[in-house]
Amino acid sequence: MSTIRRPVRAARRAAALTAATSALLLASAGLASAEKIVVADDNESESAADVSRILVNHRANPDAASKGRIVVRVRAGEVDYGDRFNLWLDRPGDRRGVWYAASMIPDAGYEPVQRVRGWRTAGKDACARWEARLSAGPDQVALFSIPRTCLGEPGKVRVALRVTYSPGVDAYRDWVPDTKTFTDWVTAS
Ligand SMILES: [Ca+2]
């Protein structure tokens, strides 16, 4: 019996090793093309009105009418009525500096997603239906949820966020990840 068991055990061990190796390979491939990324952002303003973190989730869903969504959650701290949230999205294959832009203000309507040039907020309407969630108050989380069809179902996207806080006389802009800079690419999965 033992002579039979041994090779079985050995085969199992080998199979387990192979599985562990492929898991490692998948994990390292996943680093290069994550479906979800989190970008932490310092408090440069030393104010409660400050973006501390954004989460970008790129979910493909071939069965849904929207083919999935690009969801950006913004931990925004204290939000007031005069504040403005602007998100730019980039996809591969466009001419340089041709992007998409989505904008919202607290407790109000929102504009259609725009196809824009550079860091503009107005251009041509790309799609009118997307989900925007933003309220005034302390410790707010803002949400941009944009159908992938809006951007022609790109394989990957990257985003740049600018929040303009107007707590007093001086407006303050918090960019994530950095001034006029996009995040890493986030692949649909
Ligand atoms: Ca910040």
CA max distance for the chain: 85
Phi and psi at 11, nearest 5°, equal -65, -40
Look-up of token digits 């107005």: 122
Cα-to-centroid distance, 172 and ligand 1 (Å): 10
Q: Which tokens belong to 166?
A: 């107007």
Residues 80 and 6 in one domain: no
Cα-to-centroid distance, 92 and ligand 1 (Å): 27
Cα-to-centroid distance, 128 and ligand 1 (Å): 29
Q: Which residue range forms the structural domain that includes residue 136?
A: 36-187
pTM: 0.81
Residues 134 and 44 in one domain: yes
Torsion over CA of 107, 108, 112 and 116, rounded to 10 degrees? Answer: -80
Q: Give pLDDT tens digits for 135-152.
A: 999 999 999 999 999 999
Per residue of the chain (189 residues), give pLDDT as tens: 333 334 444 444 444 444 444 444 444 444 433 489 999 999 888 889 999 999 999 999 888 888 999 999 999 999 999 899 999 999 999 999 999 999 999 998 788 999 999 999 999 999 999 999 999 999 999 999 999 999 999 999 999 999 999 877 778 999 999 999 999 999 997
Residues 11 and 68 in one domain: no
Residues 23 and 41 in one domain: no
The fraction of the chain above a pLDDT of 70, given in percent, is: 81
